[in-house]
Amino acid sequence: MPDFINCKHCKKLFAKFDQSSYCDNCTEVEEEVFRKVRNFLYACPNSDAIAISKATGVPPLKIFEYVKEGRVAIASKPEIDEASEEGDEQ
């Protein structure tokens, strides 16, 4: 039996059948954003989060989320990453 949760993005209630925290509609949008980051990293593998953000329009905190999830690896993680993790702990 699936769990019912609110979508992490749009807050719509949906049946969770897998590990995703997004409803079907938001999953498509999220995957398109992720593909932008991934494709940029294939072309420029030594990029940091700021360069990726400037080139793709994806916010640095979203890129750090992908790093934290283990979906991508980036060249360096600036101080903003450490600050965001400290804020998560409080």
Distances (CA, A) of 21 to 4, 16, 39: 10, 8, 23
Query: What gap in Å lies between CA 61 and CA 83, rounded to an integer?
Result: 11
**Tokens standing for 11?**
């807050």
pTM confidence score: 0.72
- Give the DSSP H or E segment for 26: helix 24-43
**Which amino acid is it at 10?**
C
Span 32-50, pLDDT tens digits: 999 999 999 999 998 999 9
The SS3 assignment for 3 reads strand
Question: Average of pLDDT values for 65-83?
Answer: 72
Q: Kindly indicate the confidence band of residue 13, based on its pLDDT and cuts at 50, 70 and 90.
A: very high
- Which one, of 32, 34, 8, 29, lies nearest residue 20 by Cα? 8
- What's the pLDDT at 78? 54
Convert the pLDDT of each residue in 78-90 to its tens digit: 554 444 555 544 4
